[in-house]
A and B are shown apart, each in its own frame.
Chain A
Amino acid sequence: MKHSTPKATRHVNQNEGLIFEKSSPGKAAWKLPPLDVPEVDPAKLLGKAERKDLGNMPEVSEIEIIRHFTRLSTWNYAIDLGMYPLGSCTMKYNPRVNEAVARVEGIANGHPYQPEKISQGALQIMKTLSECLIEITGMDAITLQPAAGAHGEMTGLLMVRAYHQSKGNPRKKVLIPDSAHGTNPATAAMVNYAVENLKSDARGMVDLASLKQQMNEDVAALMLTNPNTLGVFEQQIHEIADILHAKGGLLYMDGANMNALVGKVRPGDFGVDVMHLNLHKTFSTPHGGGGPGSGPVAVKKPLEPFLPAPVVVAKPDGTLGFEYNRPHSVGRVRSFYGNFGMFVRALAYIQANGPDGLRQTTEDAVLNANYIRKGLEGSYDLPYSTPSMHEVVFSDKLQAKKGVRTMDIAKRLIDYGFHPYTTAFPLIVPGALMIEPTESESKEEMDLFIEAMKSIAEEVEEDPQTVLDAPHSTRVSRLDETAAARKPVLRWKPMSSGQ
């Protein structure tokens, strides 16, 4: 590398095939205890439903499995290895005590249908977390049932619809800013609302004039991310809420960017009627390569009757229980009570922080984003000069002149030992570089990141091909995504059956 930084060096990287390629009859990684009841004849019990053969399932030993997955793991980048500045994803440190407490016997092995009398621990966790999240958001009530952010959006919009229905008219459409996450319009469609785009103004905020013009009695809600996907706080948030409320509409807040607000400002105080949180973003539960998430939805009082059933309540005898009799509920959105294991982790995170820790966390997250913004100003184009909160969005305008686009810069960043930022999003910024460092980065790590980004900007000027061909240090080079989609190979097949 022409410009090298101390962050990345190459290390031995072991090859590993597919597990099926290691399989051979007679190897085993399992052992069952002797049966303490009489053996049975499956053919007799199941008749024609008896399964005879499990096809190409693997047969391997335990050490092979350990090595297989350990080798695979070394091909991943992770927060534990360094900065993971994916904008809008809030890749913060995942505390290990969260994992430890989620595995305590009675918590890990609690059955969802065990009697309430012996479920008081789980119910207490749900109640305490709910109270904390209500206080943090400034809302009045909450459901923990949705399994992820998009699922929370769906739940929230179902409640919006039920609320309007209770007033006699479910309304027809949902307004969504052009800067929104793709899940917002996809969710609106699932709840059978038409999507109407709302454009952003020159500062990257909701265009109030357009909002006024588009707002009418057909609009059920505005789905707003705040801070929005440019990392910009919607300063006229209350005017936005007023415009909606004046025509009977509701303000839905996508809480994806709540990491910019916790302990500093509460959505419930600035006019939000319903919002979801992402416990896997703001509240440190691990992303795990794409999940599990958890998407609690908090609402203001008028929407409370519509929460999914069941909800946790205190019973007359002082114990906790589930209330199922909710005649106005939108119904269930998931079996049981949601991703309970994530509630445990989120509560442990809140406890580890306390009010002072959460506030400091938010301040550091915003400080880090602004430090990066300052450090990269001049090297990369800043399409919106509006102040940044927890993330900053640059564009590849300067680099595009040399034919280098945001994805190329992102791939080159890998060679410097960093995970790329979010590329090509939000859609209102052509060639976007969306950077969210979170509070988990030290000044040293961010200085390395800034140095790496500047170095790439120089490379673009001097030797753009190096950037275009990146990454150079990874196990595989850029992969042919077009071929993958044109002729999809979505599973392994044994040699004999072709492939």
Chain B
Amino acid sequence: MRYLPKSPADRDAMLKAIGLRSVDDLFAPIPAEYRLNRDLKIPRQMAESEIVDFFRQRSRENGDGYTSFLGAGAYFHYRPVIIDSLISRGEFLTAYTPYQAEISQGTLQSIFEFQTMICELTGMEVANASMYDGSTAAAEAVMMAVRLTGRRSVVVARTLHPEYREVLATYATHQGMPLSIANYGQDGHLNVQELEKSITPETACVLVQSPNFFGIVEDVEAIAQIAHQHGAMLVVSIAEAVSLGIVEPPRQADIIAMEAQSFGVPLGFGGPYCGVIATREKNVRQMPGRLVGQTTDKQGKRGFVLTLATREQHIRREKATSNICTNQALVALMVNIFMTIYGKIGLKELAKQNLAKTAYAAAQFAKHGKVLFSGSPRFNEFVVETSEDPYAINSRLLGHKMIGGLPLKKFYPELGDSSLWCCTELTTRSAIDTAVGLVAESERSVRSAKEEVEEVAR
């Protein structure tokens, strides 16, 4: 086996040194009746070339070469080449959690920079080293608000990513945290009247997403005011990190729970991604996850360490702020490198291109169909209502190697034949025109079919 660095002679010599006759003696502590005396029924040992072939074949069966208009919590942005060059360095790739600070300064300093940039972008004062993803970050942020306020119930915007809501519901079930849902209004924003009604003196926090699941930028200031008036916290979830380049961050929030996948992390069929929690300094001791802090060594030299560990499971056990241990460190490094590459100016320009492509696409779609919530400010997603079932439209688009928007009826049945479309800097004008053309074609044929039916009826 090519990963094992021992010759048969080495093994014999080692067994001899231990004073054993055979390898079986090493497994003597396992009661004989449970020992497996056969081969595992798994694929046979394969050569590297066969493994590569196997995955290339799977890749061909997996949408390779399609143009996609999907977003909905997972965004296709350009990934600069140097991200993979740098994260492939064995010193980053094959290191453990930086508990031994003296020989982990590389990882520690990069996390410190990551925390700093997340603070700069979100307008918060502290950020942790990462969470599993945006959904679990949101759930943990809510639990953090529950601890901070001593209240238990939570108001969740229905425009929060539906899967984030599901994850929160799972986390909340056994925490005695009643959840109530506040719906959206005609304009696709969270309905503030409904929010007002949902908040009670027991509300620990309001959880909203901005830009929300429909791509619409919420009026965070107004929502914060309502939450704070009732003594509740505001938790804002950000699923599309690139929006931070051009959309004002939710500075009025108490906690921000982010998904940073857009910053240089491959779509990868849904993971691994990079959740982050950011908040005010005064809340830091209730923060879950790892934190890196600056300190000095015995000679007074600047260095970095994992800090405030008394919040964490390995110290506090059942009294910890969370059970999280392994996080998404290497993915956070991708995010870090991406933020460093684009920086102060590039992120803004990148976000502006997303805004322009989306504005163009939405305008084109509006010529042939109905774009919902069209008066509201949006970032890079929009909802298109069609006369035909979007699944049928998407089937036709697939024939042109295009993946259309996400049909919404599964999550929002009341929106009927609507779908959520996304454009990023990688969406070309010609792809937009083609997709719009195909949707328009179907709109026309549905209309003419309807007219025919009407004619027959007449």
Contacts and interface: CB of A to CB of B under 8 A. Distances in A.
A190 B323 contact: yes
Contact of B42 (A18, A101, A112, A350): A350
Contacts of B19: 374
Contact of A188 (B245, B318, B331): B318
A353 B362 CA distance: 51
A443 B347 contact: no
Contacts of B201: none
B269 A111 contact: yes
Which 9 pairs show the lowest CB-CB distances between chains A and B?
A: A288-B330, A336-B270, A354-B45, A80-B90, A106-B64, A106-B59, A121-B62, A112-B270, A121-B58
Given A288-B333, A293-B326, A331-B166, A410 B100 contact: yes
Interface stretch (A65-73, A393-401, A457-465): A65-73
Contacts of A33: 425
B42 A135 contact: yes
A367 B17 CA distance: 11
B129 interface: yes
B154 interface: no
Given A186-B313, A291-B329, 15 more contacts: A23-B343, A28-B343, A46-B248, A56-B116, A59-B343, A73-B86, A94-B93, A118-B62, A124-B58, A161-B174, A286-B93, A286-B94, A351-B50, A491-B119, A492-B116
Contacts of A471: 102-103
B133 A334 contact: yes
Given A97-B52, A150-B313, A335-B270, A364 B6 contact: yes
Given A40-B352, A186-B317, A489-B294, A350 B43 contact: yes
Contact of A18 (B113, B246, B248): B113
Interface in B61-110: 61-66, 68, 70, 72-74, 76, 80, 82, 84-98, 100-107, 109-110
Interface string B4-16: 1110001101110
B416 interface: no
Interface in A270-295: 270, 278, 280, 286-294
A358 B44 CA distance: 10
Nearest to A118: B63
Interface residues of B, number: 200
Nearest to A126: B269
A186 B344 CA distance: 39
Contacts of B48: 97, 352
A364 B7 CA distance: 11
A454 interface: no
B353 interface: yes
B187 to A, nearest CB: 13
Given A290-B290, A344-B55, A361-B3, A490 B315 contact: no
Interface stretch (A209-217, A245-253, A258-266, A296-304): A258-266
Contacts of B248: 46, 48-51
A111 B76 CA distance: 8
B170 A476 contact: no
B136 A147 contact: yes
A185 to B, nearest CB: 4
A271 B410 CA distance: 40
A355 B331 contact: no
A6 interface: no
A95 B52 CA distance: 13
B156 interface: no
B328 interface: yes
A34 B26 CA distance: 65
B364 to A, nearest CB: 9
Contacts of A265: 27, 30, 34-36
Contacts of B18: 367, 370-371, 373-374
A443 B88 contact: no
14 contacts: A57-B117, A57-B343, A76-B104, A102-B268, A103-B266, A181-B325, A190-B175, A291-B332, A338-B271, A351-B51, A363-B27, A386-B29, A411-B100, A420-B100
A317 interface: no
B138 to A, nearest CB: 9
Interface in A340-378: 340-342, 344, 348, 350-361, 363-364, 366-368, 370-371, 373-375
